[in-house]
Copies of this chain bind each other. A is one copy, B any other.
Amino acid sequence: MNDSNSQATGDLRSSYRTVRQRSERLCAPLETEDYCVQPIPEVSPIKWHLAHTTWFFEAFVLQEFVPNYRVYNSSFNYLFNSYYDTIGNYFPRPDRGNLTRPLVKEVYEYREHVDQAMQSLLQSAIGPEIRDRVILGLNHEQQHQELMVTDFKYILGKNPLRPSYIGNFSKLESQAVDSLTYSTFDEGMVKVGMEMNGSGFCFDNETPEHQVYLAPYLLSNRLITNGEFEEFVQDGGYNDPRLWLSDGWAEKNKRGWLLPEYWSGEHAERTEYSLSGDRELDASQPVTHISLYEADAFARWAGARLATEFEWEHATRSRGAEELSRVPSDNDLHPRPALHSNRLQQLIGECWEWTSSSYSPYPGYTPLKGALGEYNGKFMANQFVLRGGSVATPPGHIRTTYRNFFYAHDRWQFTGIRLARDVG
């Protein structure tokens, strides 16, 4: 959620309503059953997301700032705390999918209760501390909105019945994509990251703003397409260990990967599951739902490499992000083909782009105080940074400084590939 210091409390109340309603609107096409399961540990039940984001406001705003606030249900503090050790024990993540209770309707009642308490609070005069917490809570909920999309996609897409989430997506006409070109960036000192309490919200992991030196580099102007990735498949890319990181080769073999997640069928009749169901693979759309390992192997096969997170950020900042993206909408939950243009595009809101950068603290990074210090900091090991947001990222939530992070083997997010090269 974008926000600024000058935003009035009335705006905050409105933002609160808007964001919270969007979570529920996203779930409208789901059936009760779809809210309840956890096919893999990283995919949480949808009702858990709805309850956890609510608990976040209860634990970090209402309980801290509203005198005499009565906790809605004390066991929810255990069930819907995700990972905040400072707050106390929490229910084991891999077992979230075993919880048939609270019921979906009870979770909605919980949301209603907390929303009312929040609206009361937001009608009073609130100081900057509460204000910052609410804004953080809304951004937190937006992150879970993206996870809800990827999670119900996994739940529906792995079901042999291949149900669609909603059937009426407008199908774009498939059309050839221009061949890949690159933009050049000069060497130099560049600014990356953002100041907290600057103009607008950011997470602590984007701070502080600082300088880095970049050698000159090339960045491909668009994302890699399904058609290009199919060439990699046809060329035996999944069978040639020389293209793969050592850990990636092991992981691929262990998991039996032969294609991107959601692809199926033989070459001649390849299909891809999207949220409107299985459909013929569209060669012009960006390839998505691939691991870092596949992205990296593709890049090596193509004689290129992945960009660092700073190369990506510098390129995006310097060209102006507004030029670089089309506005995604809730009605279009699949990445779209590139435009016919040699300009840098598809940077924002199509696919999260795997970078070669490990997720590490910026120089001078200081986590938030208290339990919220666990929000980002403790995950800064063994994961990779992704940039740019995806079709599942809520409008207004993404920034050029935004750092998302996943394990190299994760495939259930809308992840994609952009190539980079050294100059010279």
In angstroms, Cα B373 to Cα A85, docked, is 43
Shortest beta-carbon distance from A357 to chain B in Å: 7
Q: Could you say which residues of chain B place their CB within 8 Å of the CB of A382? A: 247, 382, 408
Q: Say yes or no: is A318 at the interface (Cβ < 8 Å to chain B).
A: no
- Which residue of chain B has the shortest Cβ distance to A212 in the bound complex? B213
Q: Say yes or no: is A103 at the interface (Cβ < 8 Å to chain B).
A: yes
Q: Say yes or no: is A364 at the interface (Cβ < 8 Å to chain B).
A: yes
User: In the complex, which residues 126-157 of chain A have their Cβ closer than 8 Å to any Cβ of chain B?
Assistant: 155-156
**Cβ 8 A contact of A159, one of B101, B214, B242:** B101
Contact with B along A71-90 (1 / 0, CB 8 A): 00001001100010110000
Contact with B along A235-250 (1 / 0, CB 8 A): 0000001101111110
Q: Say yes or no: is A292 at the interface (Cβ < 8 Å to chain B).
A: yes
In angstroms, Cα B189 to Cα A424, docked, is 22
- Which residue of chain B has the shortest Cβ distance to A380 in the bound complex? B245
Beta-carbon contact of B210 and A211 below 8 Å: no
Contact with B along A92-124 (1 / 0, CB 8 A): 000101111111100000000000000000000
Q: Could you say which residues of chain B place their CB within 8 Å of the CB of A384? A: 381
Q: Could you say which residues of chain B place their CB within 8 Å of the CB of A98? A: 37, 39, 155, 158-159
User: In the complex, which residues 153-182 of chain A have their Cβ closer than 8 Å to any Cβ of chain B?
Assistant: 155-156, 158-161, 163
- Which residue of chain B has the shortest Cβ distance to A364 in the bound complex? B422
Shortest beta-carbon distance from A25 to chain B in Å: 19
In angstroms, Cα B35 to Cα A86, docked, is 35
- Which residue of chain B has the shortest Cβ distance to A378 in the bound complex? B246
Q: Could you say which residues of chain B place their CB within 8 Å of the CB of A249? A: 85, 378
Beta-carbon contact of B85 and A241 below 8 Å: yes
In angstroms, Cα B13 to Cα A113, docked, is 51
Q: Say yes or no: is A32 at the interface (Cβ < 8 Å to chain B).
A: yes
**Cβ 8 A contact of A75, one of B91, B161, B247:** B161
Beta-carbon contact of A360 and B363 below 8 Å: no
Beta-carbon contact of B374 and A242 below 8 Å: yes
Q: Say yes or no: is A215 at the interface (Cβ < 8 Å to chain B).
A: yes
Q: Could you say which residues of chain B place their CB within 8 Å of the CB of A248? A: 381
Beta-carbon contact of A360 and B364 below 8 Å: no
Q: Could you say which residues of chain B place their CB within 8 Å of the CB of A305? A: 361
Beta-carbon contact of A100 and B36 below 8 Å: yes
In angstroms, Cα B296 to Cα A374, docked, is 15
Closest 8 CB pairs of A and B: A358-B358, A85-B241, A39-B98, A33-B100, A215-B363, A246-B378, A34-B100, A32-B32
What residues of chain A have their CB less than 8 Å away from a CB belonging to chain B?
A: 31-37, 39, 75, 78-79, 83, 85-86, 91, 95, 97-104, 155-156, 158-161, 163, 189, 210-215, 217, 241-242, 244-249, 292-293, 296, 305, 308, 356-358, 360-361, 363-364, 373-374, 378-382, 384, 408, 422
Identify 12 residue pairs between A and B in the complex whose beta-carbon atoms are under 8 Å apart, listed by A's number.
Answer: A31-B101, A32-B32, A36-B36, A85-B242, A101-B163, A214-B363, A245-B378, A247-B382, A305-B361, A357-B360, A381-B384, A382-B382
